[in-house]
């Protein structure tokens, strides 16, 4: 069995840090409300002119350094984003050019906050089939560009950032002891389009639009769908809950993270939490959290990581990766 093994990761956060208290100046909110309802304390926002591709390129360069590779060593690049630089070309091809990847191919994946899990699944399948041997998987977002600054129920929750993970093909024996991506579970249900969306687009308003969310409704779906996807990812890899060393969840809301961990039966010591410092960075949140935890030396070779995410669509999924 050809496995997709992690050989390097990286992340990038824009320099500007915005504390909760800053929102008190323009919407009726408080640091206390934001902290207690979401766990968020601060987030980073991109500077004027700073693009999603800029964030992605910085994260990708850190991942290449971490792996001891160059752009030309990468066969394929899959970039998850809901906030691309332009309608086309794909943000992925901009990153491809900047990294001087040369031959091979690059494309964007759009599954909003679940985007990284979808991109990871693509990458793992391409490596498994022999279509590519080294794949750069990136999640990068500038959600600050689509926030409605007059809507206190959404503008306080999101942030900008990017994370990258390089996967490389390696032969495994097909057991759950192999290193690499062991399983991925992808789901979506378009009946819930209206719970979380952007009210603009190329073929509708011709504008980028702004984010609209029925937070309470999304919350209701999140815990049960994330826990079910996580359990399915473990089962399909032949793993038990106790085999999990780390959960790297989508960082949307600390209450969702805690409730999902509780439902799966995992203690908080095993959960990587960065939402307090990053807010919800959509497709970037898992690779960002992964890279931050890795820089802190938290993962050991052979550790079993469980990732899970949910976002607009609704779209959700989970993956297991042996580090």
CB of 146 to ligand ACO, least distance (A): 10
Catalytic (active-site) positions: 113, 250, 280
**Environment class of 48 (CB within 10 Å of its CB; exposed 0-12, middle 13-18, buried 19+):** exposed
Closer to ligand ACO by Cβ: residue 83 or 280: 280
Footprint on this chain of ligand ACO (rule: CB under 6 A)? 29, 33-34, 37-38, 112-113, 152-153, 156, 196, 215-216, 218-219, 222, 252-253, 256, 280, 282, 310-312
Rounded least distance, CB 81 to ligand ACO, Å: 12
Helices and strands of the chain, counted as H and E runs: 9, 13
Buried b (16+ CB within 10 A) or exposed e, 283-320: bbbbbbbbbbbbeeeebeeeebbbbbbbbbbbbbbbbb
- Tell me whether residue 139 or residue 172 sits nearer to ligand ACO (CB atom): 139
Quick check: 219 and 153 in contact, CB under 8 A? no
Which residue, 6 or 222, is less far from ligand ACO as judged by CB? Answer: 222
Buried b vs exposed e over 139-161: b needs ≥16 C-beta within 10 Å?
Answer: bbbbbbebbbeeebebbbbbbbb
The span from the first CA to the last CA of the chain, in angstroms, equals 17
Q: Which is nearer to ligand ACO, 38 or 121 (CB)?
A: 38
Minimal distance, residue 303 CB to ligand ACO, in Å: 26
Look up residue 304 and give its two tokens: 């079993």
Quick one: tokens of 260? 């999902």
Smallest distance, Å, CB 52 to ligand ACO? 15
């Amino acid at each position: 069995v050809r496995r997709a093994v992690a050989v390097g990761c990286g992340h990038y956060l824009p320099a500007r840090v915005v504390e909760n208290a800053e929102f008190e100046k323009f919407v009726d909110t408080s640091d206390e409300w934001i902290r207690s309802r979401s766990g968020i304390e601060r987030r980073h926002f991109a500077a004027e002119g700073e693009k999603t591709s800029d964030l992605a390129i910085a994260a990708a360069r850190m991942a290449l350094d971490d792996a001891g590779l160059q752009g030309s060593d990468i066969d394929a690049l899959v970039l998850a984003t809901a906030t691309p630089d332009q309608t086309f070309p794909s943000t992925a091809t901009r990153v491809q050019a900047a990294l001087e990847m040369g031959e091979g191919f690059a494309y964007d994946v759009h599954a909003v906050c679940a985007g990284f899990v979808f991109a990871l699944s693509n990458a793992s399948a391409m490596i498994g089939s022999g279509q590519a041997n080294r794949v750069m998987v990136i999640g990068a977002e500038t959600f600050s560009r689509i926030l409605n600054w007059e809507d206190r129920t959404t503008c306080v929750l999101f942030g900008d950032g990017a994370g990258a993970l390089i996967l490389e093909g390696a032969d495994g024996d097909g057991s759950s002891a192999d290193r690499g991506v062991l399983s991925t579970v992808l789901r979506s249900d378009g009946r819930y389009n209206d719970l979380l969306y952007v009210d603009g687009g190329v073929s509708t308003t011709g504008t980028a639009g702004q984010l609209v969310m029925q937070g309470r409704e999304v919350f209701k779906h999140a815990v049960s769908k994330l826990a079910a996807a996580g359990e399915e990812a473990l089962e399909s890899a032949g793993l038990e809950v106790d085999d999990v060393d780390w959960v790297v969840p989508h960082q949307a809301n600390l209450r969702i993270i805690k409730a999902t961990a509780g439902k799966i039966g995992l203690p908080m010591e095993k959960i990587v939490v960065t939402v307090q410092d990053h807010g919800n960075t959509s497709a970037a949140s898992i690779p960002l959290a992964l890279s931050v935890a890795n820089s802190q030396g938290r993962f050991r070779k052979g550790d079993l990581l469980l990732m899970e995410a949910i976002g607009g669509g609704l779209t959700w999924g989970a993956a297991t990766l042996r580090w």
